[in-house]
Chain A
Amino acid sequence: MPAAGLIPKTDQGILEMRCFRNRCLQNNRRSYIEHIEPQGNIKRMKIDRRTILKGVAVTLATPAILRAQTNTLRIGMDTVMSGTAAALGSSSSQGAKLRIDEINAAGGLGGRQLELVIRDTKAQPQEAARIVRELVNSEGCEIIIASDPNALAVQEIIRDLNVLCIQATSETTSYTADPKLRVPTSFRVCRQGIHDSILGGMYAADIAKKKGLKKWASISPDYSYGRETTDQFFKWTKHFDPDIEVVAQVWPRLGTPEYSELITRLLQARPQALYSTLWGGDLSSFVGQAGIYGFFSQVESFAVNLADYNVLGSIKTLPPGIHSGSRYLDNFPATSENKAWADKYRAQFKQQPTVWSGSNYLAVQFIETAAKQGGSLDNAALVKVLQQGLTVDSFMGQNGKVTMRPEDQTIVDYAFGWGTTVAQAPFVTDIAPGDWSQVKELELEWKKSMGYV
């Protein structure tokens, strides 16, 4: 098939495409498109490999949105489908699919069916960037749901492509907080590191004061998320309780199998409390290995990423009394909507939902609500509605609603709190909900101090 860029417009003449065997042989096996002009002149265009490549390049450079005016709205998703976070990635696509299926069953959006196109980033930033470009340019995706932790790499591609992007998993604060990194067509619908750090600091300082926990230690993965979030946590804990002191910090690399030397190193420092941003299998390994040292009966522990079913379910003997931030739990917020959503998810996928499932479901909800409110599925119209700020009803809301904040294009008012573990389901109880008004106030102060406002 000739590439689209080579076909002349029919109103300029009659298109004939012929390849005569003799001519081909006479002309170094080259083929031609013969274009007969109205005056009767025959104009030849050779179609050798180079010409076709040029044509393909031109085609690829044409925005796919212009080419893909079909009745299906394609939504591209870049997520992690291999490696240690693969299960989290599949829970992302399942979360989005759940809402898309519901919309399609009800007749679609603006008469168009939705289709999710999923690609594996292998959790690598360069792959995520490449995939997003490909999803828009070659796969005809009109909207991107970014479900890979490497948000910054994707942001710059989105800035270049100028398409609507919903960031559904990356909790790195800077890409929406810092105006230099913020992208006009990109919106975050998941938790944000700074919110968790402020709330974690408030909660931890409160416990520290009550129990007299002065000496703190930390174990967090050795990359930007682990280090930044840990630093922010201690900054805020010290803000609320200046008496605390950090006595030991260890930074295992991601995917470390053996923690015993680090556990014993931490025990040597005799801390009264521990903070950790380990997650997934690493957290599961650490909890298992620290348990046999009797670590959790000696040290009051705070693990922000513990309360997600994929971690909780994998730890065979969950030590009671570990403090955890709420990731996704069907008992928090304790509403019938939240419980019903979790049941619906389990019924469809025979798995427990994760925090990534929830935020990806929310991503589709935001697209849907923006489309209904703006009366259009056009990219610019959707972006405009979202930029003005939008509130949707959600099981993930602290009070049943989640709001897209217009000034920094990130959500607020989602359910967040801290509780303590118990050995059996529901795994985390006594969850104290965070006070959003206080957190927003402190967040603003922090933004001013960083020069973001």
Chain B
Amino acid sequence: MDPSALGDCLTAASCLVTQATSGLISGLILFLVAAGLTLIFGVLGVVNFAHGSFYMVGAYLAYTISATTGSFTLAILGGTAGMMLAGAAFERLLLRRIYGANVMMQLLVCYAVILIVDDVVKIIWGPDFIAMGMPEAFQVPPLFVAGGIIPPFYLFLGAVALAVAILLSIVLEKTRIGKIIRAAAINPTMVSSLGVNTVLLYGLVMAVGAGLAGLAGALAAPVRAMTPGMGFSILIDSFVVTVIGGMGSIPGALVVAILLGLVQAFGAVGFPLFTDQIFFIFMILILVLRPAGLLGRKVS
């Protein structure tokens, strides 16, 4: 514990800018993964434990596309589109069969998928870690704002993640399909009886959720080493975010993901040995005092 260091950091512009931006951006990347997870749970009612695998394969796919075409834009698009397709296939072939099943069954199926995908990744890309390397456009010195350091690549990551967050909320709030998705989350039987093709809708939601995880993986690929099994740690963080924010709540996921990023950033200064634990303690408190999460719907 070093409260004086934290105090110094919060009062110095340079420290404030550097830690706040790095926390904000890692929070936004986490949001992309958690948003997919919470969306799938909200509509499909399935806790997708295999969600981290989409993040991982998205990153690996982006790596291969970037290595063959040399284009980071194509890598991002390819990683996202590839995972959308994979998500739709996953829903069509596996998830659809276990919608009514209990959580244990869902957990087992997803866990099997995690193990299989990890081994497939090992076969295709090898067991060793891989680094994609920074795209040429971002191989530039960092920016200095009020004495704080901000790498241009992180600005780009933050901008893309923020744009996706805004787009997602507009689609869900303002469009017809968004309204149908929200309705399906509340009462799928009613939506179905009104003539909406819920089978297609579920496939679409799963594709979007998996696509968001793939996008996060592709965006993070230039700075995070890829290893088979890398989806697991992001899955844990995503669960923390969705549980605290409220399972099924996208605004909740956004708020909590950013909060998590900021706590980690300032925690690294003030209480480096206690940063991870803080959120788990917070999660326990939420589960006890407000089981639906900060912004989640109350379960009647």
Contacts and interface: CB of A to CB of B under 8 A. Distances in A.
Interface of A: 81-84, 86-87, 90, 250-251, 253, 255-258, 260-265, 267-268, 280-282, 284-285, 288-289, 291-294, 310, 314-317
A289 B224 CA distance: 8
B47 to A, nearest CB: 22
B251 interface: no
Given A261-B268, A264-B22, A292-B153, A315 B273 contact: no
Given A250-B272, A294-B149, 12 more contacts: A83-B227, A84-B227, A251-B273, A257-B233, A258-B26, A261-B265, A261-B267, A261-B268, A265-B268, A285-B131, A293-B151, A314-B225
Contact of B149 (A288, A291, A293, A317): A293
B262 to A, nearest CB: 9
Interface in B1-29: 9, 14-15, 18-19, 22-23, 25-26
Contacts of A82: 127
B28 to A, nearest CB: 12
A86 B118 CA distance: 13
A282 to B, nearest CB: 7
Contact of B139 (A84, A257, A317): A317
A81 B119 CA distance: 12
B134 A285 contact: no
B234 A257 contact: yes
Given A260-B22, A264-B18, A281 B129 contact: yes
Interface string B258-272: 000000110111001
B264 to A, nearest CB: 5
Contact of B134 (A250, A255, A288): A288
Nearest to A315: B131
A288 B131 contact: yes
Nearest to B133: A316
B23 A261 contact: yes
Choose among A250, A264, A293 the residue with the greatest number of B CB atoms under 10 Å from its CB.
Answer: A264
B236 to A, nearest CB: 11
Range for the number of chain B residues in contact with chain A: 35 or more
B229 interface: yes
A314 B25 contact: no
A90 B128 CA distance: 10
Contact of A288 (B15, B225, B229): B225
Contacts of A256: 233
A258 B153 CA distance: 14
Contacts of A267: 18, 149
B74 interface: no
Contacts of B19: 261, 264-265, 268
B224 A316 contact: no
Nearest to B148: A264
B207 interface: no
Contacts of B138: 292
Given A261-B23, A294-B149, A87 B224 contact: no
Contacts of B14: 268
B230 A261 contact: no
A81 B14 CA distance: 45
Nearest to B229: A83
A248 to B, nearest CB: 9
Contacts of A294: 141-142, 149
Nearest to B55: A257
B132 interface: yes
A84 B25 CA distance: 26
B220 interface: yes
Contacts of B222: 288
A162 B227 CA distance: 38
Choose among B128, B142, B151 the residue with the greatest number of A CB atoms under 10 Å from its CB.
Answer: B128
Nearest to B262: A261
In the A-B complex, the 8 residue pairs with the smallest Cβ-Cβ separation, listed nearest first, are A316-B133, A281-B129, A87-B128, A86-B127, A281-B225, A292-B151, A265-B268, A285-B225
A272 B229 CA distance: 36
Contact of A261 (B139, B225, B233, B264): B264
Given A86-B128, A280-B129, A268 B142 contact: no
A293 B142 contact: yes
B130 interface: yes
B142 A314 contact: no
Contact of A90 (B127, B153, B225, B276): B127
Interface string B99-130: 00000000000000000000000100011111
Nearest to B226: A281
Choose among A265, A280, A282, A291 the residue with the greatest number of B CB atoms under 10 Å from its CB.
Answer: A265
A293 B228 CA distance: 27
A255 B272 CA distance: 17
A264 B126 contact: no
A81 B273 CA distance: 31
B80 to A, nearest CB: 19
Contacts of A316: 131-134
A268 B128 contact: no
Contact of B223 (A251, A253, A285): A285
Contacts of B149: 264, 267, 293-294
B265 A264 contact: yes
A285 B220 CA distance: 11
Contacts of B228: 86
Interface in B132-147: 132-134, 138-139, 141-142
B13 to A, nearest CB: 12
